[in-house]
Amino acid sequence: MTPPLCKSKADRDRLRQRVGESRKAQLKEIRRQVKRWSDGAPAEDCLAAIRAAIAHIGERD
């Protein structure tokens, strides 16, 4: 369902772009934590950071 603030195609495109950028940053953080884990960082710390990044997926600015 399209949010009521998206009245024009340009509005929808801007919203889609912001969501895409946010998701890209979150996935980058998850990949960074997985790399830290594979390099020997404590698993508990890395998993906590991954959980935090996943918890923010879908949130708006």
32-57 residue pLDDT tens? 999 999 999 999 999 999 999 888 66
Number of domains in the chain: 1
Q: Taken in order 54, 55, 56, 57, is the CA torsion positive or negative? A: positive
Buried b (16+ CB within 10 A) or exposed e, 37-59: beeeeeeeebeebbeebeeeeee
61 pLDDT more than 70: no
With respect to residue 45, please indicate whether it lies within any of the assigned structural domains: yes
With respect to residue 37, please indicate whether it lies within any of the assigned structural domains: yes
CB-based contact 37:46 (threshold 8 Å): yes
With respect to residue 5, please indicate whether it lies within any of the assigned structural domains: no
Which domain, by its residues, includes 56?
A: 20-61
12-29 residue pLDDT tens? 888 888 888 888 989 999
With respect to residue 1, please indicate whether it lies within any of the assigned structural domains: no
With respect to residue 40, please indicate whether it lies within any of the assigned structural domains: yes
With respect to residue 6, please indicate whether it lies within any of the assigned structural domains: no
| pTM, full prediction | 0.67
